[in-house]
Structure 1
Amino acid sequence: MKKKVKVVAAVIEQEGKVLCALRSSQMSIPNVWEFPGGKVEEGESLQTALEREIEEELACSIKAGSIFHDHTHEYEAAVVQLIALKAKLIEGAPAAQEHEELLWLPKESLASLVWAPADVPAVEALIEEKKVLNS
């Protein structure tokens, strides 16, 4: 039976752009884009886990908000429940600690990147959200 992993991801928007993070070649599922975040530890709320992970991965502080998207994806090695939360940057500027690169992109350009499979449904939901707001 595959290991089940609960992961939180930050959808950080600023000035009409969304923060995207490129997984490094040392990470599992390397060289694809994702929303930054990480595993939820035992006893942590989703928001606390996300705020901790962003502090560790990006050396900045966020305020995690409500759930934007929840999707479970089955990889070869594990089943990942990816819970994307909207988040606001509150202190510092994101700096790649573990990722290869960080990029701010407008929602309508998100589809131009190659995303980790678990992140794809949240990306599609963000692009759809943009279309709905503009119609």
Structure 2
Amino acid sequence: MSTMWGLTVRGICELDGKVLLLKVRSRSSHDANKWEIPGGKVKKCEYFDEALKREYLEETGLEIDIKSLHNVVRNDYTACKTSEEVKSIQLIMKVTCQSDEITISREHDDYGWFSWDEIDEMIENGLLTPAAANAFGKN
């Protein structure tokens, strides 16, 4: 069986020195109750920048501008619906937003704005998803 490859795009949004993270819902089969960077999978025939803007709007209610590439990491996982092994390339972008008014989707239980020191501490304590810890370059 051939390996599936996927593309995920996430955006690190910093506002007033704090970074936005979302808490994965407690009922999730992946990384329940851990914190992650907003974003998601790029759909077939979708440009990755449009995917990031779509995912951000769905997950946070925010409209974003994409500024730069921050990191590229690989995050392998097993697809929930098909049980296929997926090798996922994650593009981690730096983004900006004009507001800190967040409306989370049903994918998440909570959100927060965290300082870089708080994020370092959260990584040390295993509170971030492995993909998010990798994205910040702290693994």
Q: In the alignment, what sits opposite 1:128?
A: none
- Kept in 2: contact 1:71–1:82 (CA 8 A): yes
For the aligned residues, what is the CA RMSD? 1.8
Deviates more, 1:84-93 or 1:102-111: 84-93
Q: In the alignment, what sits opposite 1:93?
A: 101
Counterpart of 1:4 in structure 2: which amino acid?
A: W
Q: Within 1, Cα distance between the matches of 2:129 and 2:87?
A: 13
Counterpart of 1:56 in structure 2: which amino acid?
A: E
Higher helix share: 1
Q: Within 1, Cα distance between the matches of 2:3 and 2:129?
A: 19
Change (3 A) 1:99 1:41: same
User: Of 96, 116, 123, which aligns to 1:107?
Assistant: 116
Q: In the alignment, what sits opposite 1:121?
A: 134
Mark the runs of 5 or more structure 2 residues left unpaired by the alignment: 79-84
Counterpart of 2:114 in structure 1: which amino acid?
A: L
Where do residues 19-34 of structure 1 align in structure 2 (5 Å cutoff)? 19-27=20-28, 28-34=30-36
Q: Within 1, Cα distance between the matches of 2:128 and 2:6?
A: 19
- Kept in 2: contact 1:59–1:92 (CA 8 A): no
- Kept in 2: contact 1:95–1:102 (CA 8 A): no
What is the number of residues matched between the two proteins?
125
Taking structure 2 as the reference length, the TM-score comes to 0.79
Taking structure 1 as the reference length, the TM-score comes to 0.82
Q: Within 2, Cα distance between the matches of 1:78 and 1:42?
A: 15
Q: In the alignment, what sits opposite 1:64?
A: 66
Mark the runs of 5 or more structure 1 residues left unpaired by the alignment: 126-135
Q: Within 2, Cα distance between the matches of 1:96 and 1:4?
A: 28
Q: In the alignment, what sits opposite 1:8?
A: 9
Counterpart of 2:131 in structure 1: which amino acid?
A: A
Q: Within 1, Cα distance between the matches of 2:68 and 2:49?
A: 8
Counterpart of 1:123 in structure 2: which amino acid?
A: F
1:82 lines up with 2:84 in the alignment: no
- Kept in 2: contact 1:61–1:92 (CA 8 A): no
Q: Within 2, Cα distance between the matches of 1:65 and 1:45?
A: 16
